[in-house]
Each structure stands twice: as structure tokens, then as C-alpha cells.
């Protein structure tokens, strides 16, 4: 839960991004990640102190979230032309999802599951599992340190010449932006359509192996399901963003189609997991297909949503807008994980939460009235 908790001071990080630019914000966030990775990796034998170091490291890692998750649209507007922005936003916002996809594989492959049996009794070597977890922590720390050095050596805040009229135009002040966002009903509507399903799917995917255990799916198979659902979402998301760059003004239609598919796939997965009641065939193929489709449709919608946010509330700065919606997404993830601490013995309710969130988002999208103020400025004013 420290990831969502680390989002609580998001207003401070949005202010820093708005006033100091991308370089200063990213340097601070990368420093938090390095320090958090170091604290998690300290090999203390006293488990009491080790536990608090891990908690502190996770909190520092969570503090990096507001900038990392919100900077994609600001990066694309600052550096890319109008016909490249959606693609750049997709790559910048989905590249982090590939890290989550790798985690689904690295976890089961690097750390053995404590479920081996010897003579009919459960047996597991705690020392070996602890050593493998320590190896994963060291490897993550090394990767984060390398990224921090790369940002420190070369990461300019902006190009020498703005790539578009929107990139060079004056934006609202920080305080005016917050007031405008909170009083804009269309923005709040689309923000809920984004944050509820993405927040729920983040918590749902984090315990996917527990959800699939009653269906006799191993943690390795659950890891592969999570991997392909995220990778599929990244590939499909970049493809849809490239399509949106070629045919502009179609963001709402793309999202409606995505969440219609997500609602159907989530319903299919939920009913398949309840095979004793529904009598639907529960095979590895059906679980793979339905679960991967859920991930593809929801994860690929992220960059399309971010672009639609910017178009809806322009000239509010991109970093502030995306900071608000990613905070809401983390809020719903935190609420789901909080409920999970009380209701963890039977997890079918998580599947119903996922299905309901997709249908809720689809309904909001159908009633949403889109506008493209930034696109109008770039296309007509520049001409």
C-alpha cells in the first residue's frame, strides 16, 4: 500500500513539475527510487529493523510515483509535434507497464514457491528463498542506480525550439489550474472513468496468483497471464495511439470500443472463475484468453485517456492534469488493497469489482461530451 500512500503529497510534486520543469522533477524522483532501493536491500539479520527499512524504502519508492506516472503527456507536448504526441504519450506512459510485466516473470522464475512437498508434508527452504529475494532486490537497485546516473548526465527540460504552438503557449497558473480542474464537471466525469478501472485493475493484478489459485492455476502460469496481459496492452496501446495521431478527434470512440471489450472480457473471466455456479468451461485457455483481454483493453486505454484529459482542460498544464487523475487512480488502488486486508480468504469479490468498474467507465464515456481545444490551437492557429 505504500505506493498509493506515497501519492498523498502529489500536489507538491505537481507544483515542482510546473515550476521547475521535467529535469528537476525527474532527478528528485529517481533519487527517491535509488534511496528506497538501498533501504530495501540492507541485509540485516534483525527482522524487526529489516521490516521498517523495507517499509521506508517502499514509501520512498511511492513518493516517486506522482512524477513518473504523470510526466508522459508533458514530455510529449514539450518535445513532439502534434501528429506525434499521442504515440509519444503512449510510449512514455506504457513503458513502465513493461516493468510490471517483467515482475510477473522475474518473481516466479527467480524465487521458488514455498509449496514443495516431501513425504506428504509441505517443505520449503527459508534460507534459499531469502537469498533469492535478496538477489532480486540487489538487481532492482542496480537498474535504478543506472537510470539515475543516466538522468543526471543528460536529461534536458525542454528543446531549444518548441515543436508546436501549444508547446510555446502560456498556461494557467498552478492555483488557477487546480480550481479549474475541480470545477469542471466534464473533467471529473472522464477522470472517474479513467481512475476507477485502472485503480481496480492495478490492485487486482497484484494478487492475480491468489485469485487464480482456486482455479488450479500455478503462480508461474499466473505470472505468464499477467505478463502477456500487460505486454498486449502496451503493444495495442501504442498501435491505437498511432492510429489516433493519424485520425485525430476520435479519442472518445476509441475508448468506448476499448471499454466495451473490457466489460465483456471481465464478465467472461468472472463467470469462468465461478464455474461451479455457471457451469462454464474453466480451462487454462479460457482463463488465459479472458484475463489477457482484460489487461489489453484496460492498459491500452491509459495513453488515450491522458490525451483526452489534456484536450478537455487545455490550457491547464499537462503535469497538473495528469497528476490529479493518477492520484485518483492510486486512491482507488489503495482502497481496494485496504479492503483486501480484511477480506482475503475468498477473492471472487475482486473479480466483480473489476467487472463493475469497466461497466461504470463505459457508461461515463457514453455520456461524456468531448472537445479538442489544444488540437484546434495547433491546427488552425498555426496555419
| Interval 43-79: pLDDT, tens | 888 888 999 999 999 999 999 988 888 888 888 888 8
Classify burial at 249, counting beta carbons within 10 Å of its beta carbon; exposed 0-12, middle 13-18, buried 19 or more: middle
Q: What is the pTM of this model?
A: 0.77
> Which tens digit of pLDDT belongs to each residue from 280-322?
666 778 888 888 899 889 988 888 898 888 888 888 887 788 8
Q: What is the pLDDT of residue 366?
A: 93
Please calculate the CA angle 40-14-144 and round it to the nearest 5 degrees: 30
Alpha carbon distance 63, 56 (integer Å):
11
Which residues does the chain have with pLDDT short of 70? 115-124, 166, 275-282, 344, 375-383
Helix/strand/coil percent split, the chain, to 5: 80, 0, 20
C-alpha cell at 270: 468472472
Q: How far apart are CA 111 and CA 181, in angstroms?
A: 45
Distances in whole angstroms, Cα of residue 370 to Cα of each of 84, 204, 373:
20, 30, 10
CA nearest to 318, candidates 303, 299, 338:
303
pLDDT computed for residue 364 by the predictor: 94
Nearest CA among 302, 276, 58 for reference residue 199? 302
At residue 118, the pLDDT reads: 45
Per-residue pLDDT at 117: 45
CA distance 52 to 203: 23
Amino acid at each position: 500500500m505504500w505506493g498509493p500512500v506515497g501519492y498523498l503529497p502529489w500536489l507538491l510534486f505537481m507544483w515542482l513539475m510546473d515550476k521547475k520543469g521535467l529535469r528537476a522533477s525527474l532527478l528528485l524522483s529517481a533519487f527517491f527510487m535509488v534511496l528506497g532501493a538501498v533501504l530495501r536491500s540492507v541485509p540485516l539479520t534483525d527482522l524487526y529493523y529489516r521490516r521498517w527499512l523495507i517499509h521506508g524504502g517502499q514509501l520512498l519508492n511511492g513518493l516517486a510515483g506522482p512524477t513518473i506516472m504523470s510526466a508522459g503527456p508533458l514530455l510529449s507536448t514539450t518535445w513532439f509535434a502534434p501528429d506525434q504526441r499521442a504515440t509519444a504519450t503512449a510510449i512514455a506512459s506504457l513503458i513502465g507497464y513493461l516493468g510490471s510485466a517483467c515482475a510477473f516473470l522475474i518473481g516466479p522464475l527467480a524465487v521458488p514457491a514455498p509449496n514443495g512437498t516431501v513425504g506428504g508434508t509441505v517443505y520449503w527452504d527459508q534460507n534459499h528463498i531469502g537469498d533469492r529475494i535478496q538477489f532480486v532486490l540487489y538487481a532492482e537497485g542496480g537498474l535504478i542506480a543506472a537510470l539515475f546516473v543516466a538522468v543526471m548526465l543528460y536529461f534536458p527540460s525542454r528543446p531549444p525550439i518548441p515543436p508546436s504552438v501549444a508547446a510555446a503557449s502560456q498556461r494557467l497558473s498552478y492555483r488557477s489550474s487546480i480550481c479549474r480542474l475541480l470545477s469542471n464537471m466534464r473533467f471529473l466525469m472522464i477522470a472517474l472513468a479513467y481512475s476507477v478501472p485502472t485503480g481496480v485493475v492495478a490492485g487486482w493484478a497484484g494478487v492475480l496468483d491468489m485469485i487464480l489459485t482456486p482455479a488450479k492455476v500455478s503462480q508461474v502460469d499466473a505470472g505468464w497471464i499477467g505478463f502477456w496481459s500487460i505486454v498486449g496492452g502496451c503493444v495495442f496501446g501504442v498501435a491505437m495511439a498511432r492510429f489516433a495521431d493519424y485520425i485525430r478527434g476520435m479519442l472518445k470512440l476509441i475508448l468506448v470500443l476499448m471499454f466495451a471489450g473490457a466489460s465483456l472480457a471481465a464478465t467472461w473471466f468472472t463467470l469462468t472463475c465461478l464455474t461451479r455456479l455457471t457451469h462454464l468451461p474453466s480451462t487454462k485457455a479460457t482463463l488465459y484468453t479472458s484475463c489477457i483481454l482484460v489487461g489489453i483493453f484496460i492498459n491500452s486505454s491509459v495513453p488515450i485517456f491522458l490525451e483526452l484529459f489534456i484536450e478537455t482542460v487545455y490550457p491547464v498544464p499537462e503535469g497538473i492534469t495528469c497528476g490529479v487523475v493518477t492520484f485518483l487512480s492510486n486512491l482507488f488502488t489503495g482502497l481496494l488493497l485496504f479492503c483486501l486486508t480484511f477480506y482475503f480468504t475468498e477473492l471472487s469479490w475482486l473479480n466483480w469489482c473489476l467487472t463493475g468498474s469497466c461497466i461504470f467507465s463505459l457508461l461515463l464515456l457514453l455520456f461524456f461530451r468531448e472537445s479538442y481545444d489544444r488540437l484546434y490551437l495547433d491546427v488552425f492557429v498555426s496555419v
